[in-house]
Amino acid sequence: MKAGWEVTPLGEVCDFKGGSQPPKSEFIDSPRDGYVRMLQIRDFKSDDKAVYVPLTNKTNTCQESDIMIGRYGASVGQIHRGKAGTYNVALIRTVPNLSLLDQDFFYYFLTSELFQQPLASVSVRGAQAGFNKQDISPFEIPIPPLDEQKRIVAVLDAAFEGLTRAKENAETNLQNARELFESHVSRVFDNNSTDRNSTLGAAVEVLTGFAFKSAGYSEEPEDMPMVRGDNLVQGQFRWKNVKRWPLTQCDEYEKFRLAANDVLLAMDRTSVKDGIKFAVVSEAELPLLLVQRVARLRCLSNSRHDYLGHFIGSKLFEKYVLSIQTGIGVPHISGQQIKDCPIYLPDIATQKVVAAELTELRSSVEVLETNYRTKLTDIADLRQSLLQKAFAGELT
C-alpha cells in the first residue's frame, strides 16, 4: 500500500440505509403533489415503468448523487446512481463520510473487485442471494488523502471515457451483426408476404409431448433424457436440470422418441428475451424423449429441417407467436396454432439452397459475435485492471 494511505473497515467510513416496500395499492403511475418516485432496480435502466408513492416523514429518500447497491438476487452488487426518490428493499443507500471519502472515488471502489469479490462471497450464504449492513461493514477500503482521491478519479475518468466509447462501439457492432442476419432471414421468409403460400401444418407433422409423471423420473445417467422447454434456447439444446426416464420403460412410449432432424419448439413461454425456444435434433443428441408442452415438428416430403429451423428461429415466426399466444400466467401456443402459421415454402431444391446460404451467413455472423464479445470481455478486464492499480496506489 502506498505511503500515507490508510486501510479502514468500510463500516467506519460509511453508513448504509435500507429501503422500504410500500403496498402496491399505494402506487400511482404519474407524478402528483405529496408523492415521490419509488425507485426499483429496473428504474436505473429505464423510466418506462415509473411509479410514485406517498411521501411521509418516515420515507427514506435518496438524491441523484447518492450511490445505491443492489441487495438481492441477480441484482446483488449492482452499483447505481443518478436517480432521486425513495427506494425499495432491493436497494441500499450508501452514506459515506465525505470528509474522508470523495464520492466518485467511493463509486469506483464499489465497482471494483476489492468490493465485488467479498460481496459475492457473503451474498450466497442464505437461501436467496443477498446481504445486509453487517455483512459488508468489515470489508476493507484503502483511503488515500482527499487530494490524491480526486487525482485518481480524474485519471480514471479519462481512461474510462475511452473504454466506454470502445464498449459502446463493440456493443453496436454486435447488435449490427445480429440485425444483419435477422434482416436477411426476414427478407427470405417474408418474401413480400403474398408469397407465403403455405402453412406449417402442410409442411410438418406436429406432435406434442407426453405428460410423464415426475414420480417415475430416473436419476441414472444411462437412462433416457427428456426434452423440456427449458432445454431449448435459440436453436440449441441447453442440458440444465436434465430429467430422465428409465430405459426399461421406454418401449411403451415409442411414439415420443425423437429422431434426427426433428425440429422442437417450446409451447410455453415460446418467445423469451433471447429469442424463440427451439432446437433441431442431431444424431449426436439421441436418444431423447418428447415431454408435454414441447412440440415436435417432423418434416413431410415437401420440406427440409434446416430450412424450417431457420424459419422457426426467425423474427417473422417470433412475431407470429407473440400475436397469437394466450395465457395470463404462462403464455403458450397450441399445436393447431403452430400448424396454422403461414410460411413461404418453395420447392425442396430451393429450400436446400436457401438453408445452405443462411447457415453460411449465420456461421460468419457467429464469428463476428465471438470477436465482439471477446472485445467486450477485454474491455471489462482492462477496467478492473485499472481499478486494481488505482486502489493499490499504482496509478500514475
Which CATH number characterizes residue 72's domain? 3.90.220.20
What pTM, to 2 d.p., does this model score? 0.70
Asked if the structure places residue 280 within a domain, the reply is yes
- From 127, 144, 161, the end of a domain falls on 144
Give me 347's grid cell: 420447392
Max CA pair span of the chain: 79
CB 318 within 8 A of CB 235: no
Give the residues of the chain that fall short of pLDDT 70: 1, 125-128, 191-196, 327-329
Could you write out the DSSP letters of every residue in 187-199? HHHHTTTTT--EE
**Residue pair 105/126 in contact by the 8 Å Cβ criterion:** no
Whole-number pLDDT of residue 326 = 78
Asked if the structure places residue 17 within a domain, the reply is yes
214 and 328 both lie in a single domain = yes
Burial code (b: 16+ CB inside 10 Å, e: under 16) for 3-19 equals eeeeebebeebbebbeb
Domain containing residue 371: 145-197+344-396
| 11 and 96 part of one domain | yes
pLDDT for res 113: 94
109 and 189 housed in the same domain: no
**135 and 206, same domain (yes or no):** no
Nine cell digits for residue 393: 496506489
Domain count, the chain: 3
In a domain, residue 191? The reply is yes
| 69/111 same-domain check | yes
Residue 324: predicted pLDDT: 83
CA-based torsion, 254, 256, 258, 263: positive or negative: positive
**Eight-state DSSP code of residue 238:** -
Q: Is 45 within the bounds of a domain?
A: yes
